[in-house]
Amino acid sequence: MPDFLTGLQSLDIGQFRNIETARLAFSPDLNLITGPNAAGKTSLLEAVYCLGRVRSFRTSDADQLIRYGQAAFRVVGRVGLQDERVIPVGIQRRPGHYDIHLEGQPLRRLSDLAGRFPVHLMTGDTTNILNGGPRYRRQSLDWALFHVEHSYRNAWQRYAKALRQRNAALKDHAPAAQVTAWDGELVDAAAALDRLRRNYLSDLSGYVARELAVLLPGKGFVIRYQPGWAKDLNLPEALEKSLDKDRSRGYTQAGPHRADYALLVDDRPAQTHYSRGQQKTIIVGFLLGQVKLQHALEAPKGAFLLDDLASELDAEHQARVLAGLAELETQVFVTAISTHALDLAAWPLHKRFHVEHGVIQEVV
Ligand SMILES: Nc1ncnc2c1ncn2[C@@H]1O[C@H](COP(=O)(O)OP(=O)(O)OP(=O)(O)O)[C@@H](O)[C@H]1O
Ligand SMILES: [Mg+2]
């Protein structure tokens, strides 16, 4: 059973998205949030996320979180720490500006709040990991690494900038020397991205394999990483080789922006060789592995947010995800249209909340 004191104990919300006001006391284990479409379920998760990360997972413009026609939103939580203290954390957003309070004191830098209350998020479009294009897998990878590797964001930004400049030169039909002038910075940032991605996927491979050993016994699992250029070349060689083609097409073809990975079960790609049901099981193993690795990499316990899991997974697979999360002994928030079919035996302290038109009520 989770430590009763850790996690988000209560939350006050004012003028956040379609939630005018709410005052909620949460369970330290599972909080189930139900309600029809557009009720405000994801908005509630977003408020919790915002408290932990001082940003949204749906928009980069925090002003959009302010309820239409209002001057500011306010989210105040009481967070239980591992050392048994309970601290109030408050965040307010006026257009263009955050005000943050920790234990009644204003915080000057947003980063001071980070790490006090880590939140992890899993959203519903999980089958994209198998059936979507490489972009989805890269996004998932980037997302995970942004959260656990501080140097990743910096390398990613440096890479994106060098790539933008190089592509602009290609598009302008600039002389080759003006194109390759960016290669040094590009290759340098790419090396950092590639190393962090490779290490993360290698760790993740082990975590997922452990989950699948239970879910799909007797089958081997491995993640095959593809860095974004030909295996037998290093990146400078790949850039040199594709320079003529880059110049005729007007963009850079080799590099981490083209990376991908495949989930191999018994050496066969999961999306082409397994049934729909097996694919769901593989996705569940992948998600649980990701969640557990994320948890292992980030020491303080926080909360897990699962948005709309039921939209992709049937009752049996949802139950497996919840069983895996129960092993983490951490606070969990799950949204769903309905949760009738769920077995909640592993969650003796669970609470239910129902949302309608932005009004949230505990179901007792
Ligand atoms: N700043 C805002 N002010 C007021 N309402 C907003 C704001 N931003 C979004 N909304 C509205 O809030 C409502 C709730 O959205 P939300 O995504 O939380 O619903 P949901 O319960 O997760 O629905 P679904 O089941 O479809 O995912 C939507 O109708 C949305 O248009
Ligand atoms: Mg939603």
Q: How far is the CA of 68 from the centre of ligand 1 (A)?
A: 11
Tens of pLDDT, residue by residue, the chain (364 residues): 344 457 899 999 999 999 999 999 999 999 999 999 999 999 999 999 999 888 898 898 999 999 999 999 999 999 987 778 888 999 999 999 999 998 888 987 766 666 667 787 777 666 788 888 999 899 889 878 887 788 998 999 999 999 999 999 999 999 999 999 999 999 999 999 999 999 999 999 999 999 999 888 899 999 999 999 999 999 999 999 999 999 999 999 999 999 999 999 999 999 899 988 788 889 888 988 988 888 788 756 678 888 887 776 777 778 888 888 888 778 999 998 877 777 888 899 999 999 999 999 999 8
Shared domain check, 97 and 62: yes
Shared domain check, 75 and 133: no
Which residues approach ligand 1 with their CB closer than 6 A?
A: 17-18, 35, 37-43, 64, 66-68, 308
Domain holding 85: CATH number? Answer: 3.40.50.300
Residue 123 lies in a domain: no
Q: Which of 105, 48, 99 is nearest to 77 (CA)?
A: 48
Residue 153 lies in a domain: yes
Instruction: Round to whole Å and give the CA distance between 7 and 333.
Output: 11
Query: Which residue range forms the structural domain that includes residue 108?
Result: 7-118+300-363
Counting ligands in written order, the one closest to the CA of 37 is 1
Among protein residues, the one whose CA lies closest to atom 29 of ligand 1: 38
Q: How far is the CA of 36 from the centre of ligand 2 (A)?
A: 9
Shared domain check, 267 and 138: yes
Among protein residues, the one whose CA lies closest to atom 25 of ligand 1: 37
Which residues 6+ apart lie within 8 Å of 32 measured at CB? 334, 336, 339, 342, 350, 351, 352, 353
Q: Which residues surround ligand 2, an ion (CB under 5 A)?
A: 42
Atom of ligand 1 at shortest distance to CA of 39?
21
Residue 340 lies in a domain: yes
Shared domain check, 142 and 257: yes
Residue 209 lies in a domain: yes
Shared domain check, 174 and 38: no
Among protein residues, the one whose CA lies closest to atom 8 of ligand 1: 17
